[in-house]
Structure 1
């Protein structure tokens, strides 16, 4: 069994014990001689919006059905910044930190959720409007939950009421895609509880899944692409963020993968990415500037790119030609402005870089890979301009850009760095020689005045689910 699988198996047992305690507190079972006590329909109101640190109990139920344990990892964007939503190609890896959920049917018409650190929520499946987005939930975990339930139901899944307790190792707002991991985990819970349904996969588990989740008997085969695309719909339509599908696919598939968003259904190609094996550590440096509050600025990137694509007669830049951009450059500058043109230039160059990085990994040319990472970081800063938010009143504060400057000072050409993920704050990705990683992290933390650095384990299992005995 691999070290990653062993770690995941041990984590699963620890998380299961923790979630069993939280589940029992949040969703009590009524004693045989105990009355109902209150109208169970009030759960939809009484449970929602609870204290994020407390376990707020819902109304008791007579019994719970079979329990399922599901988890999904956060993701590392290895290559390809802001190109997935335009039909480009990216390289992504699952990370060791995961979002976990323990669930069981509750015999009601309610879906009730207790989320550690994020309060509680409840959705009444008898409500005629439960499938539509609710404006008050925008950019909340409740919106993601509703979106995943609706996707499962609309695809023909046999949805019934259930209780779900969750916890997360993936920090929010740092660019590690905690929201995508949550979406994928919820989808896995639905398939494990009610399947086979629209998220069902092949009978054979992916490599590492059986070992990582505790044996063949409880393994639930999942379709990672179906789960991921449902998550994209939840995030776009319900949460209100115009994301691409990179985050959800990376979380669902696991390992390190090349994702090609050119086809209608994205293609997934496994890649070998072993930075440690060639003497490098993967470090994320937290800017402490929460990127999740800058959705409008994030949304401007795909919007600007689509405007250029439309001017070139295409729906997205992946369907346009870079030569056509240069041929009509002056017209596009006059019509749309230089900022949008620069973002389009970033797209075309970034996709070409991803292809070179894939080739570099396949041929073992890590110096070329590092060079492309540095060029990607420069392009995001100069042309895409997604490192620092502009409209939040921060004024002179540009922590993510400052961190890149510090990386340049500390690493020079011996490492590489770039803004990670959607940008506008969040984290900076640094590839650091293994022999220098302790000194780098100590120096960076000291310069920033807080514990900013975390070394990241990449390439672990994707979404996992099992039915418990």
Structure 2
């Protein structure tokens, strides 16, 4: 914690420049400084604070899923990375038992810490995440109290970059720094984020999003034991390999898709339950194939196909991670395309059930395939059904690719990102 005056002085002297460059993966440092200045002034305005107020700066990145589409909730493996878009917050204790969280452009969230647990009227809302994070950390024995936080974000909502996980990790980093003396490690903060999303928010998500955001860099994660995920950090330099990571907004709307997302783990767990197991990781593909007629009759074909996707994509994670570490980008790209095909054919998270006129994700994939002209790789990104696709574009055709894609899918729809080496972080204070 430091006074706002001291923070502004340090910012002007350039003492935060290297940290800001790391968080943003380069870029114009003056723009990064201006963003921090505007953030702190937003905090002062929102909460009526002068320049003698003591504050901390904290950040949590969005994430990109590279392989392992809907494998984490079945205790499978995933390959993911933090990206250079983040939630950035200015925060300070307020001496009460009420958390006030203001995200720029959104209404102020106020949550009183009363120990009441999840509230039905807060389901699928930011207050649910705030309450869930605070309650869980308090339950671990830490003296959680009220705080004020003002945040800005360029993690695009509905982009598949998991703005919700970034928000959860940000809240976890704030609570950890203000009330836990930074005792919680990155994986624990991720697990708390998943708990808040599952139990308080009401979305049955896995643990990949929060872990990638919290840990940072590129990571292969094995969730065989979700209480103790095995995290394998990797050094990945896409630029050196000659590729850009692009996230393309399909223009599809995430609204009313919670049931579609929830149906995927339900289908998979249904198959596992037939064998007396909790999740598909406890089975093999051979188990499913040996009992295919009975499973089709009991659960229908979609559930069986989704199970087959799990086994294939779970194995692909290991192969993709090995290819990246060995610098074998041709194999990596071939596996990315395999994962994309499996998501479309077996997992079926490209088009919502019954949709005929609106198939924006499928159109975006078709446009990317055409623009790549046989090079690079493309796949669905994140949960599917709406939002974005992921494309690895050769650097020598990046301008041409954007020029071909954006007139068809919308100006500004193609976002060129970098892998951020740092996860949830205390930036200053």
> When the two structures are superposed, what TM-score results if normalisation uses the length of structure 2?
0.90
> Which residue number corresponds to residue 207 of structure 1?
none
User: Cα distance, 1:64 vs. partner?
Assistant: 8.5
Q: Does 1:370 align with 2:333?
A: yes
Cα 1:29–1:118 shift into 2, 3 Å:
closer
- Give the Cα–Cα distance (whole angstroms) in 2 for the partners of residues 3 and 110 of structure 1: 30
Q: CA RMSD for the aligned pairs?
A: 2.0
Q: Output the CA distance in 1 between the equivalents of 2:115 and 2:324.
A: 51
- Number of residue pairs matched? 408
Query: CA deviation digits over 1:293-332, x for unaligned, max 9?
Result: 4111001101100001111221000111221111111111
Task: Name 2:22's counterpart in structure 1.
Answer: 5
Taking structure 1 as reference, are residues 190 and 178 closer, same or farther at Cα in structure 2, changes over 3 Å only?
A: same
Match of 1:453 in 2: 414
1:228 aligns with 2:190: yes
Q: 2:64 aligns with which of 57, 76, 83?
A: 76
Tell me the distance in 1 between the aligned counterparts of 2:289 and 2:221: 27
The aligned runs of 1:202-281 (5 Å cut-off) are 223-263=185-225, 264-281=227-244
Q: Which has the larger radius of gyration?
A: 1
| Alignment of 1:404 onto 2:365 | yes
**Cα distance in 2, alignment partners of residues 161 and 6 from structure 1:** 27
* Structure 2, gaps ≥5 residues long: 1-17
Determine if contact 1:420/1:427 at 8 Å carries over to the other structure.
yes
Question: 1:390 Cα deviation (Å)?
Answer: 2.6
Say whether the 8 Å CA contact 1:15–1:100 is kept in structure 2. Answer: no
- Taking a change above 3 Å as real, the CA distance of residues 411 and 121 of structure 1, as seen in their structure-2 partners, is same
Partner of 1:444: 405
SS in 1 for 2:305: helix
2:328 and 2:91 map into 1 onto residues whose CA distance is 45
Cα deviations across residues 344-385 of structure 1 (Å, max 9, x unaligned)?
000001111112111211222111111111111111011100
- Helix, strand or coil for the counterpart of 1:157? coil
CA contact under 8 A between 1:373 and 1:417: conserved in structure 2? Answer: yes
1:2 Cα deviation (Å)? 9.1
Match of 1:200 in 2: 183
- Work out the CA distance in 2 between the residues paired with 1:152 and 1:405: 45
Q: CA deviation at 1:153?
A: 0.8
1:162 aligns to what?
A: 147
- Whether contact under 8 Å (1:79, 1:91) holds in the other structure is yes
Residues 1:191 and 2:191 are matched in the alignment: no
Match of 1:217 in 2: none
Aligned partner (choices 76, 80, 83) of residue 88 of structure 1: 76
Aligned counterpart, 1:343: 306
CA contact (8 A) 1:184 1:228 kept: yes
**How is 1:246-325 mapped onto 2 (pairs within 5 angstroms)?**
246-263=208-225, 264-291=227-254, 293-325=256-288
Gaps of 5+ in 1: 31-62, 202-222
**C-alpha deviation, 1:395, in angstroms:** 3.7
Contact in 1 for aligned 2:379/2:390 (Cα 8 Å): yes
Q: Provide TM-score, normalisation by structure 1.
A: 0.83
Change (3 A) 1:29 1:275: closer
Answer with 372-381 or 187-196: which moved more.
Answer: 187-196
SS at match of 1:291: coil
Change (3 A) 1:6 1:401: closer
Distance of 2:241 and 2:20 partners within structure 1 = 18
- Deviation of 1:120 after TM superposition, in Å, equals 0.7
CA contact (8 A) 1:291 1:423 kept: no
Indicate if the aligned counterparts of 2:115 and 2:135 stay in contact, CA closer than 8 A.
no
SS of the residue 1:413 aligns to: coil
- What is the CA-CA distance between 1:343 and the residue it aligns to? 0.1
Which of 23, 28, 35 is residue 43 of structure 2 equivalent to? 23
CA distance in 2, matches of 1:275, 1:410: 20
Question: Aligned-pair distance for 1:15?
Answer: 3.5
- Determine the structure 2 residue equivalent to 1:123: 111
